[in-house]
Amino acid sequence: MSIRPKWLRDLASIVFSFYYILYAQEADEKLRRFRAVPTVEMLRTTWEKTTNPYIRFFTRLPRIDVRRKILLARPKSSSYTRPITAYLFFALPEKELCKATELILDFPGGGFVAMTPEHHEERLRMWAVSTGRPVLAVEYGKAPEYPYPFAQDEAFDTYRLMVESCGKIIGMSGKKISIIISGDSAGGSLALNIVIKTLELRNLAASSHQPIKLPLPTAVVLNYAALDFNFTSWMSADNLRVLRSEQSSGNIPGLKEVAELKDHLKHVVLSVRDKKPSRKRIRRRSSWKDTLKGFASGGEVDDEDNKHGYPTTALRVPSKTFSLRAMPAMLGADEGSLADAESDDEDFNARKEEDRPIQARILYKYPNGGSDLPRSNSALEKQQQELAFSGNNSPRPMNGKAKESVGTRLTMTSRTGYFQDRIISPSMMRAMAILYIGPHRNPDFATDYHISPILAPDHLLAQFPPLLMQCGEKDPFVDDTVIFAGRVREAKRARKIELDLALSGKSARFGESLRMSSQDGHADNKTTADMKKERDKLSREVDSDWVQMVLFSDWSHGYLQMPTLMSEAKAVRFFIYF
């Protein structure tokens, strides 16, 4: 970062990258120091390497006919004057663009602080080639220069522009338009906010008997979306209930394997990638650098190598959707994990106490996992016990199989559990949150669903368009994907029940989240025909029509950025709902 001039810095970036690939432990230590006090410059330098001219020279970008940068004026209803910057990618000849009526509107990720469509260009070109549709990627304002809610408003303004002009302002037909919105990481939050703002505007127009002029997008495609700004350690009771419901309905196969991923008690330290001692220690060969270090230290042995020189744990969960190879070591699935071959019934008594897994150091074990312990009168203790031992006494599902226990391992959320994730660390997440919010706002993180779309009320989720949600099982944001998908399904089911009861003339008690448009909760502002149409549509659909969720085994964050280094990323599906 401090090297000048730029050409030398770009060249040094490549050289040092190769160096730290060879000396991975030193790379981890250097990143640890930077991530302890991350800066905007560090975040941007770390993530924006794909525009390095030397890397781009060796990157084979898919060939397309149209690739241009566009400046768009804000819609008349906007309170902003800064023009919208976007990049248009179209694989077909330019003369075909004026016939296009279908658009992919993409919001690239970057932690709300970094990266533009140019840093995602490889996969944007791939999408343009594979779909045959124009892809418009928005370079929205980044924090700290443009704090919340600037990026959200800019994303919504872009969607309104495309709808109002039917795409004519970017060269499309201008007759009609069908839009799929996509987003990864931070861009996924912006994509969902477009849907939420559109629904709020439509509901407001319906309540005032005004015509609805802003249609919903055809579908929303999300990859490892960041949907929750509540960086907590324990899953909330409501989210845990959704998780249980998803498992019993079969939407999350293999809950036992997912729980194993979060079994932190298997390790010496509360970390998924803990350095676990093995019977056979693997030591790397000494290098010239070690020799110089030995002279400098007077021949003393570096205890750090003995302490942290063991192979890291690479937990594997078989994917239920794709049979793809494991994520490369740079994403956290470290190679050389001979320690993982140890059997579960190994005698840990021969080891020193500090070298034993935490589970082996527990001296007193409660019968039945403590599920039959008397409950405390304390509300806090009661909630913690319910989180820790839930599912043990639950009824059996319809298929006759016993419901798997949802205990402490699974109630610990991924973003806290994977606090040594090589792509996103907690210190980086906190820094991005602080930069994104800015100095002039103090939102209520427990209720503000614009900041945390995972908190969106059920009456909005029930109206969502089809969703395709994809994420790696080792991603810090995998819980966001699983919980949001479950909440949408629950809201759709509840909406159908509400419509059935309303059309049958029966009364029922519904929460505020699924009330009808009128003030007293009845269907006064909706015609019977509209209600029947909505009910019939929900009746014809199944859960997979509302949400399709794909979890990739052993993958972490940012796989869309790595099609050159990781061929499996090219297999990530992009559904077309047109």
Q: What is the secondary structure of 413-477 as a DSSP string? A: -HHHHTTT-SS--HHHHHHHHHHHH-TT----TTT-TTT-GGG--HHHHTT---EEEEEETT-TT
Helices and strands: H and E segment counts in the chain? 19, 8
Q: Does an H or E element contain 129, and which?
A: helix 121-131
Could you count the other beta carbons within 10 Å of the beta carbon of residue 532? 12
CA dist., res. 520 & res. 4, Å (int)? 67
Residues in the chain: 578
Could you count the other beta carbons within 10 Å of the beta carbon of residue 153? 20
Give the pair of three-digit tokens for residue 556: 């972490």
Residue 74 backbone dihedrals phi, psi, to 5 degrees: -65, 150
Answer whether 251's CB lies under 8 Å from 242's CB: no
CA dist., res. 329 & res. 339, Å (int)? 16
Answer whether 121's CB lies under 8 Å from 91's CB: no
CA dist., res. 52 & res. 564, Å (int)? 15
From 13, 17, 130, 185, the catalytic residue: 185
Could you count the other beta carbons within 10 Å of the beta carbon of residue 531? 17
What distances in angstroms separate CA 181 from CA 218, 311, 534, one per listed residue?
8, 41, 23
- DSSP state at residue 316: -
Concerning whether 185 is annotated as a catalytic residue, the answer is yes
Could you count the other beta carbons within 10 Å of the beta carbon of residue 222? 28
Q: Which residues are annotated as catalytic?
A: 185
